[in-house]
Amino acid sequence: MRALCQRVREAHVTVDGTEVARIGQGLLVLLGVFVDDDDTRAARLAEKTLALRVFADAHRPMNRSVVDVSGSLLVVSQFTLAADTSRGNRPGFGKAAPPERARALYERYVEALRERWPQVATGVFGAEMQVTLTNDGPVTILLER
């Protein structure tokens, strides 16, 4: 499982021209699920996401978590994070979990976030989405479990 976390000032998702989610300061999380992922990995990655210290305090530029700054999370499914380009220029997706399994683990990850922090918005799993963000920094961190 991979979570590409971007510190944002704001972010929103639209599907078919309709906004389905919006956040202010926080993290935009693009989540990729792999064939060997399970519920335990999803829960651990959620904990790591919430604890990730990428927000500034008075002493350091990266010392506070999204929880510490009362920020929000916007989680978007992103199967292309499982892309394999080792054999050429066309990505292969054999390591990506099948859609039904990926959806269940995506939902488990979101549930684990919400168990500890209520400010979690989501895109629409499997939909063609447009994601708009104002990256802050920019700061982009890849978490893997």
Active-site residue, from 55, 78, 122, 125: 78
| 55 carries an active-site annotation | no
| 80 carries an active-site annotation | yes
Active-site residue, from 80, 130, 132, 134: 80
Distances (CA, A) of 60 to 15, 47, 55, 56, 72: 38, 22, 9, 6, 21
Active-site residue, from 6, 49, 55, 79: 79
Closest CA to 131 of 91, 50, 74: 74
Enumerate the active-site residues: 78-80
